[in-house]
Structure 1
Amino acid sequence: MTQAARRQLGTGGPVVAPIGLGFMSFRTGAGPDDETAATALVDAAIDLGVTLFDTADVYGPEFSEILLGRAIRGRRDALVIATKFGNTLDRDTNPRKLDARPEYVRTAIEGSLRRLGIDHVDLYYLHRVDPAVPIEDTVGALAELVDEGKVRYLGLSEPGPQTLRRAHAVHPISAIQNEWSLFTRDVEDTVPLARELGIGIVPYSPLGRGWLSGSVRTPADVSETHRKHPRFADDAFERNRTLADGVAAVAAEIGVRPSQVALAWVLSRGDDVVPIPGTRHVEFLRENVGALEVTLTDEQSGRLDAIAAQVAGHRSIRPENLGTEAPTVRVSSV
């Protein structure tokens, strides 16, 4: 990836490579094998020009931040490190409660900085809007962290449009992180406002939780993390596999991988869009970055555009994480 290809998140926000790396896959432990895999992946990502690395305190919890911190040691200054807070970290509670109280904001950032081994976070997201806390109070506390140099830019994950506007009125929001893929497009209700306010978009799960990778043919191919997701349920599986086959057909026409077509479609949504596909494997990382070389024709884009309306199964599995204006399809990225 070249400097010319970089994209800016928000007006005056961080400038990053067009594809980032989501680190949620590193959440099962922080032992030697995990550290070796994480370091190899980060090394390869940096070599490929990736600059945005995204994690959250709740991934594990804590393991993902710990491993990313170890992997970036000595190279942190050239990178944009993003993490998220807003879920309590009790390992015995699942689903975990939301907590966006101002006093918790400070507790959360101190923990993330310690685990990451850095003195500031470049992009700090509220992971989910807490309906019990006015967004103005949470963002006001986050603004204090910016003033203190502990955070450079602020973000929100899965906000509704009105919440986003209220938050941005307190302190500039540089990015929203929402699920966005050929299978999930409800963020497009919020994108116009984000662009009006000068806010970048960071899509998570741009590969449809594996459906768009081309690797899911039978239920046995579904990762353990996603087996309970409604879009892999028995009554949805065959229909969604047929839709994924449509993506694979476009990929075959171009001579690339289905995942590269899916990512190329997301990248084509605008130069303020920076997807963060996650993986533990260097080969898939290389494949994902290769999507930057894929160009879709208008006819191919049209065929792909029609897919979302036909997807079987909604994406909501964590309704307790919804903000007060969130649609019922909202789901946690945890």
Structure 2
Amino acid sequence: MTSTTFRIGGDLTVRRLGFGAMHLPTDPGPAREKSVAVARRAVELGVTLIDTAYLYGGGANEELLADALHPYPDGLLITTKVGVARSGPSGEWKLDGRPAVLRDQVEQALRRLRVERIELLQLHRIDPEIPLADQVGTLRDLRAEGRIGRIGLSEVTVDELDEARKIVDIASVQNRYNLLDREHEPVLAACEAAGIAFLPWRPVARGESGARAEIAAVAAALGATPTQVALAWLLGRSPVVLPIPGTARIDHLEENLAAEHLDIPAVHRARLDRLAEPG
């Protein structure tokens, strides 16, 4: 029986199938009202892990979640990401891992999310222009100060993960990974070996038509949707995998969460495993 929960950092229990808030519209009006309804419905359905980032609207996504869900129910983890800012020559988004920028973004996230501590704070990307030790070290210092509880990384290699772990405990890694895109298989293996949560972004495969046909065939055989098959495959791939599918529609949200109850028999799993070669 596949476990439906995972302890991030060894002590923070969440439901493995979470929700990615990136796609929620934040502009005032009916679309925002629907976004609030989707976020609330996710929590009603038992979601305890919601992923957001400063990059998603320059903090607007964080504010939306706070408007929808604060005061937060016990056990709800909203994880956010820092390290991308409008620091380009013309104010465009770029990687920015300068310690002062990371500190400011964490402080702003605390304010927008209306919390005193962010239980899981992720570095959105490693800025190649700033020493990794300075970036991860800043997050380590913020953890020591009680501003964040656990530290995660995103889009990292095995070597980068190893280097970061020499500086501070890493609780999560958020890399692109799905049924048809397994480039980061070595990173998943490293996370599994270390008990680190692996949050695949873009968890629903968008592959070639032939591969999608294979997924559709398995879905038809199991009485499920291709999306549910893709998510159920991830849940069965490794106990450290915590998919965070995103949507702005309640019907899609309910479809996604139902994947938790889909059991993929070995014969079908083997068929799906063959769709992409690891690494």
Question: 1:64-75 counterparts in 2 under 5 A?
Answer: 64-75=61-72
Task: Name the counterpart of 1:47.
Answer: 44
**Within-5 A mapping of 1:89-104:** 89=86, 93-94=91-92, 96-104=93-101
**Which stretches of structure 1, 4 residues or more, deviate above 6 A after TM superposition?**
none
Whole-Å separation in 2 of the counterparts to 1:47 and 1:207: 23
Q: Distance in 2 between matches of 1:272 and 1:106?
A: 29
Distance (Å, rounded) in 1 between the aligned partners of 2:242 and 2:52 = 15
Q: Which residue of 1 aligns with 2:202?
A: 205
Identity over the aligned pairs, expressed in percent? 36
Look up the match of 1:84: 81
Give the corresponding residue for 1:17: 15
Instruction: State the partner residue of 1:8.
Output: 7
Q: Per-residue CA shift, 1:16-40, capped at 9, x if unaligned?
A: 00111001102x5331324311221
Contact map agreement 1:22 1:54 (CA 8 A) in 2: yes
Contact 1:13/1:153 (<8 A) preserved: no
Is residue 13–residue 174 contact of structure 1 (8 Å, CA) maintained in 2? Answer: no
Which whole-Å CA distance do the structure 1 matches of 2:277 and 2:163 have between them?
30
Does the CA-based 8 Å contact 2:26-2:35 persist in structure 1?
A: no
Q: Which amino acid aligns with 2:135?
A: T
Query: Which one of 282, 290, 297 corresponds to residue 265 of structure 2?
Result: 297
Deviations 1:114-139 (A, max 9, x none): 22222221111111111111211111
C-alpha separation between the residues in 2 aligned to 1:139 and 1:272?
Answer: 22
* Residues 260 and 173 of structure 1: CA distance in aligned 2, closer, same or farther (over 3 Å): same
Task: Show the 5 A alignment for 1:122-161.
Answer: 122-161=119-158
Compute the TM-score of the two structures, normalised by the length of structure 2.
0.93
Alignment equivalent of 2:113, drawn from 111, 116, 119: 116
Distance 1:35-1:117 versus aligned 2 partners, 3 A rule: farther
In structure 1, which of residues 242, 245, 252 is the aligned counterpart of residue 210 of structure 2? 242
Asked if residue 176 in structure 1 is aligned to residue 144 in structure 2, the reply is no
| Equivalent-residue separation in structure 1 for 2:18 and 2:140 (angstroms) | 25
Runs of 5+ unmatched residues, structure 2 = none
**Is 1:167–2:164 an aligned residue pair?**
yes
TM-score when normalising by structure 1:
0.78
Call closer, same or farther: CA 1:65–1:129 in 2, change over 3 Å: same
- Provide the secondary structure at the position in 2 that maps to 1:190: helix
**Following TM superposition, by how much is the alpha carbon of 1:77 offset from its aligned partner in structure 2, in angstroms?**
4.0
User: What code does the residue aligned with 1:158 have?
Assistant: E
Q: Which residue of 2 aligns with 1:218?
A: none
Instruction: Render the CA deviation track for 1:209-237: whole Å, top value 9, x for unaligned.
Output: xx3xxxxxxxxxxxxxxxxxxx6xxxxxx
Q: One-letter code of the match for 1:245?
A: A
1:249-270: CA deviation from partner (whole Å, max 9, x where unpaired): 1000010111110001011112
Cα distance in 2 for residues equivalent to 1:111 and 1:263:
33
Secondary structure in 1 matching 2:199: strand
Q: Aligned pair count?
A: 276
> Take 2:164 and 2:57, find their aligned partners in 1: how far apart are those partners?
28
**In the TM superposition, what are the counterparts of 1:227-238 in structure 2 within 5 Å?**
none
| Structure 2 counterpart of 1:177, one-letter code | Q
- Which amino acid in the other structure matches residue 247 of structure 1? I
Contact 2:117/2:146 (8 A) holds in 1: yes
CA contact (8 A) 2:77 2:119 kept: yes
Look up the equivalent residue of 1:269 and give its one-letter code: R
RMSD, matched Cα? 2.0
